Amino acid sequence: MAQPLNILLVDDNGLRASIIQDGLQDAGHSNVSIVTTVAGLVKRIEMLKPDVIVVDLENPNRDQLEHFFQVSRAVKRPMAMFVDRSDTAEIEAAIEAGVSAYVVDGLKKERIKPILEMAISRFNAVNRLTRELAEAKSELADRKVIDRAKGILMKAKNIDEAAAYKLLRRTAMNENRRIGEVAAGLVSAYTLLGDE
């Protein structure tokens, strides 16, 4: 069985919070903490370490939304936000801030579970894509440095590209380092010596 979710519910209206909490409990989520004030919210989130954050705002103003968008950027957790009204700019800002589910005029007990599941899935997908992008950028940067290091070795040792790469790879294995690190060290030393 899957581990039960630790859910943080943020709502300044106690009645609405209890409706959402009932919906979450009906969906099998009994570990729900309720916060009714946004003061110190980031610290509270760090302390409670929720798996998902549910925010319910009846009639949010721009300052409230911006505050929650900042929280979303800071805490890196799935966030489902329920609002009674919104406009296109607010929706775009929510998505840009990393809010995983932004639901307008749709707080019904029976909808909470699928919305939370979607928020968590979307959050995980975005995190995976972000991580893959960072890895791809790192690999591309490594490749450029490796190519540059091969060029330096080819010129300095009068060897071909395959031999230069083999030398870099052997050095990396001998030093138990990544080939990109060895290449970066060589390029840095070459630049430091002023041979460029």
Assess whether pLDDT exceeds 90 at residue 110.
no
20-63 pLDDT tens trace? 788 788 777 888 888 887 777 888 888 888 888 888 877 766 77
* Dihedral angle over CA of 114, 111, 95, 141, nearest 10: -10
Domain ranges of the chain: 7-107, 136-192
Q: How confident is the model at residue 106 (pLDDT cuts 50, 70, 90)?
A: low
* Residue predicted with more confidence, 103 or 148: 148
Q: Into which CATH architecture does domain 7-107 fall?
A: 3-Layer(aba) Sandwich (3.40)
CA atoms of 9 and 117, how far apart (whole Å): 15
CATH number among 1.10.10.10, 1.20.1530.20, 3.30.2320.80, 3.30.70.890, domain 136-192 = 1.10.10.10
178-189 pLDDT tens trace? 999 999 999 999
Closest CA to 79 of 96, 100, 95: 100
